[in-house]
Amino acid sequence: MMNWLSSWWRGGTAVVEPASARDAARLAQLHGASFARGWGEGEFESMMSERNTLVQRFRLGRKTIGFAVSRIGADEAEILSIAIDADYRGRGLSRALLLTHLGHLAGRGVRTIFLEVEENNQPARKLYERVGFVVVGRRERYYKQPDGEQLNALLMRRDLS
């Protein structure tokens, strides 16, 4: 999948690879720019040190433009977060990152993936639905916004086997 992306992009090689502690600052920056409550460097460093957590960065050339984080338990995983730099959105890169991340999870024996997405986040919902996730539940007032508003979350699932 990454070969066609690298050819199409022509801005350098597209790579999804394990993140390291030295990526924590950039991942925190991307997360903070993408979500109402961003995760800090320490949170990323902590997740990277956990054996059951897969933290991957998405790099184009030398620049990290995205990441995906999942926590694995037995043959299931939960996608905790996925983000692409705002300057690179709308180009199919989120889909490439997500599909590659799912492939890595499958390679670790994961058969079922779950995630939560804010109910009104249409771009994210469309992405997840396009790669085979289906809504299996709803959590009322799950996401708290900086202004105090509470938004609903949808629980989505995809089977890999």
Which among 123, 130, 101, 95 has a CA at the least distance from the CA of 113? 101
- Helix axis angle, 93-107 relative to 122-130, nearest 10°? 50
Average pLDDT over residues 18-40: 92
Task: Please check the confidence at residue 52 and state whether its pLDDT lies above 60.
Answer: yes
According to DSSP, the β-strands at 150-159 and 63-73 are unpaired
| Predicted structure pTM score | 0.86
pLDDT of residue 147: 74
pLDDT of residue 40: 92
